[in-house]
Each structure stands twice: as structure tokens, then as C-alpha cells.
Amino acid sequence: MIPYPFERVRVMQKEKNLAVVLAGGMGALAIIRELGKQGVPIVGIGQATYAIRSKYCLSLPITDNQQIVSFLLTLPKFVDHKPVLFTDNDGYLELLQKNWPQLSSFYAAPFHSNNLQLTEKNLLVRSAERVGIKTPKSWLGAQQKEVCQFPVLVKPVNRDQFFAVSDSKPQKGYECKNREELLHTLQLMEACYIESVTQQIVSGRVENLFSITLYRDPQGRIMHGFTVQKIRQYPMDYGTATVHLECRRPLLEEYSVRLLESVNYVGIAMIEYKYCEQAKDFYIIEVNGRFPLETGIVHKLKSLFVYRIYLNLIGRPTSGLLQDPSFRRPVVWFFFLNDLRNFPKTGWRFLLDYLQYMVRYKLQGAVWSWSDPLPLFSYLKFLAKKYLKSGSGIQ
């Protein structure tokens, strides 16, 4: 086994429970910063090496899944308090769930087996319909090849895994306008051994997409983290968010609480909806059981959302930590380096949009922090290596 600094970890966690962050991207960087600023000892592992270069964590070069599991099984021998696991990556969440029978005695984590009733796309439809939430028509498995209603959207069930093994442009879904395009896309997924789901396309612009991030504890108490409206994305069709605007949508909060309670969901949930102007209602798109890309928005919200989840998981009170959000400007979260790739299509309107954001909102970047600059430089180095190696862009 690779010699890891377990004695250093033992010293780190003398006073507080250790947090272990399995880093897949920007969400993990936000988790590390939010916990580190509260004095939580953190070990960072995983593929997003730039995220674990933060000054707030001990960075360990563990990216192989077997090594990660081996490390997690060994770590409890060197700590006095039960560590807490966090991740922002679907693949790492799946890895933890698969090995949870071995890990559950030694760790606390914001997920539960009940959650599969919502995070599994084939089960989500039934769960949502039971509580009166609209869902786009979906086809699974072999049913997808029998679809005759177009256009449709084909989505990889595990996006992170698909992006890791495919040369296709990374995006959340692939629009198919006819049967030929559908079969080609399904063959692409099958060649990468990736499960997929085909869905009816809910009409509407990118601004019709909303997501809400909540945490429900074992006692059924719910913490509202944030609700955001997607403003921009890359690629511009079915891409990953590059600009999110914080907002409040009471109806989505009502829908989400109803949904979580119906299956006794426990843990973190990022629930995505799309507003259909024809139906005058929201359709649920998906539920993710890990922290989202835009988790860093909580820094400007000053809600201590991530830290309160940590405290809940170790059985500590969270009362008195909330601040009054009244009379403050909304927050815009932006991933500038990825959004910059939209410039050839948007032209100078791109810069005008950012000037408007600066005037109207508080801004929260995905990577940069004056107090923790190293992850940005590490990320730029990561991009340079990626570009020189394959000529591909930012993911």
C-alpha cells in the first residue's frame, strides 16, 4: 500500500471530526473552503487535483478507485472521531454507496439507500408522479430504440463516467431529431458501457431551468441551501451551467420538500426543474445526491450551509448559525473560464452581460479566492496539460 501520512492525520483531528472530500470538481473546492474556514480538519482526495490544492486541506495523491476504498478502510484506525465523507461527483457517490456496508460503521455521510428512489432516473418518474409533480416522458433500456416521437434528449446516467471515457463534447444531454441520430447516440453510449435515458424535451429557454439544493436529516428536518436559475451554459444547448442566479421559488421548495418526504430521503439533494410555458408548470428533470457544481454560491450567501450539514452529521447543534438574508443583493455564481468559450457565439454581448452582473448582483466565482489562490493556478496548469494532450477544452 502507498505510505500515507496517517500520523499527520491523527494530529489534525484531535479536536474536531475529520472531513474527507472526494473531489470531482468545483463543488468539492467549495466544500473544502467552507469547512476549512470553520477550522474543520480536511483530507482531500480524488481526480480534481486542483481542488485539493486548497490551503484548507491535506492533499493526498489518491485517484484510483481501489486505492480510495483501501485508504478509507485504513483511515479509521488512525482517528479518534468518526470522519465525515463529502463528494460532488456522481462516480464517487456511486463508489461510496457500493462500499457503504464496509464503511458505514466508521463514517458519517450525507446520503442514504432510500435516496435511490429519486436519484435513479427510472425510479424518479414513479416517485414524482405519486406526489403530483410533472415529469417528461422517459424511455429506458431497450425501450429507447423503439422511440418514435422526436425530438428527444438522450442523457448518460453517469455523466462524470461518460465524460471520462468518451471523446464526445461534454454536455448534459444529446438532442436527437430523428431515429438515425437516436440510434447513433445510443450506440455511442453502449460503446462506452454507459447506461442512458431518453426523455421528451420540455420546451423552454435556458432561463427556464432551475435547481434547488436541500439537505434532509434523519429526523426529517430540512435545510434549504439555495435555489438558482440557470442564466448561461456551455455548450449553449444542453450544457453545464456557467452562470447561475440565486433566486427564491416557493413552489419549487414546496415540490421538493414533498418529494423528499415521500421517500424518506436523507442527505444532500440537488433537484433540477424546467418551467414549461405551455403547461404553465414545472417539470422535474433529475435529482442528484451529491453537492452541485455551484456550491460555492453559499460563500456569498453566508448561510454556512455546508458547515451546518457537517455539524448535523456529527450530532452537534446548528442553531444560531443562520444570518438574516433580508435586504441584500442576489448572488450570481459564474464559471468564467468555461463561459468564455461562448464568446465566439455571443460576441461583445458576453462582456456587456458581465458588466450588468457586476452592477446588479454580488459575484461569486467558481475557482478564484483572494485568500486561497493556489487552486486557480493549479486549474490553469490542469487545463494547459489537458489541451496539449488532446486538444480538448474545459470540462
Asked if residue 122 belongs to a domain, the reply is no
Dist. CA 225–CA 30, nearest whole Å = 13
Examine the fold and report which residue of 200, 227, 246 is the final residue of a domain before the chain moves on: 200
Q: How far apart are CA 148 and CA 155, in angstroms?
A: 17
CB 85 within 8 A of CB 109: yes
Q: What are the Cα distances from residue 296, in Å, to 27, 244, 246, 324, 335?
A: 7, 11, 12, 19, 11
Q: Give yes or no: residues 13 and 147 share one domain.
A: no
The arithmetic mean of pLDDT across residues 267-274, rounded, is 98
If one compares 304 and 393, the residue with the highest pLDDT of the two is 304
Does 27 fall in a domain? yes
CATH number at residue 182: 3.30.1490
Domain boundary among 179, 200, 221: 200
> What pLDDT is stored for residue 42 in this prediction?
97
DSSP assignment of 293-313: GGGGHHHHHT--HHHHHHHHH
pLDDT band at 325 (very low <50, low <70, confident <90, very high): low
Average of per-residue pLDDT across 308-325:
81
Q: Are the C-beta atoms of 28 and 86 separated by less than 8 Å?
A: yes
Could you tell me how many helices (H) and strands (E) the chain has, helices first? 16, 15
Strands 42-45, 19-22: pairing is parallel
Give the strand pairing for 209-216 and 138-140: unpaired
Clarify whether residues 266 and 383 are in a common domain. Answer: yes
The pLDDT score that the predictor gives to residue 132 is 96
Residue 116 lies inside a defined structural domain of this protein: no
Kindly state the average pLDDT of the residues 292-316: 96
> Which of 63-67, 164-168, 320-324 is predicted with the least confidence, judged by mean pLDDT?
320-324
Task: Tell me the residue type at 43.
Answer: V
Same domain flag for 152 and 274: no
pLDDT at residue 395, as a whole number? 43
- Backbone dihedral angles phi then psi of residue 232, each to the nearest 5 degrees: -140, 160
Q: Are residues 306 and 242 in the same domain?
A: yes
Neighbours of 175 (CB within 10 A): 16
The pLDDT value recorded for residue 392 is: 47
Mean pLDDT of 22-47: 97
- DSSP label at 198? E
pLDDT above 80 for 218: yes
- Tell me what pLDDT residue 169 has: 64
CA distances, 265 to each of 15, 241, 295 (Å)? 31, 26, 20
Confidence grade of residue 124 (pLDDT, cut at 50, 70, 90)? very high
pLDDT band at 321 (very low <50, low <70, confident <90, very high): low
Q: Do 53 and 170 share a domain, yes or no? A: no
pLDDT category at 393 given cuts 50, 70, 90 is: very low
- Asked whether residue 353 is domain-assigned, the answer is yes
- Domain of 329, CATH number, reads 3.30.470.20
Same domain, 381 and 233: yes
What is the reported pTM? 0.89
For residues 348 and 367, membership in a common domain is answered with yes
The answer on 253 and 181 residing in a single domain is no
Could you give the CA distance from residue 155 to residue 141 in angstroms, rounded to a whole number? 12
The arithmetic mean of pLDDT across residues 175-198, rounded, is 90
Q: Which residues span the domain enclosing 149?
A: 137-200
Q: 52 in a domain, yes or no?
A: yes
Task: Give yes or no: residues 92 and 185 share one domain.
Answer: no
Overall domain count for the chain? 3
Both 246 and 385 in one domain: the answer is yes
In-domain check, residue 395: no
265 and 364 assigned to the same domain: yes
Q: Quick: pLDDT tens for 369-382.
A: 999 999 999 999 98
Nearest 5°: the CA angle 86, 87, 93 is 110
pLDDT score of 235: 82
Q: Is the pLDDT of residue 143 over 60?
A: yes
Cα distance between residue 111 and residue 215, in whole Å: 10
177, 236: one domain: no
Tell me, what's the pLDDT at 394?
44
The set of cell numbers assigned to 13 is 483531528
Mean pLDDT of the chain: 91
Share of the chain above pLDDT 70, in %: 94
Within a domain: 176: yes
Specify the range with the lowest mean pLDDT, choosing from 102-116, 119-133, 153-167, 283-297. Answer: 153-167
- Tell me whether the omega of the peptide bond preceding residue 151 falls within 30 degrees of 0, making it cis: yes
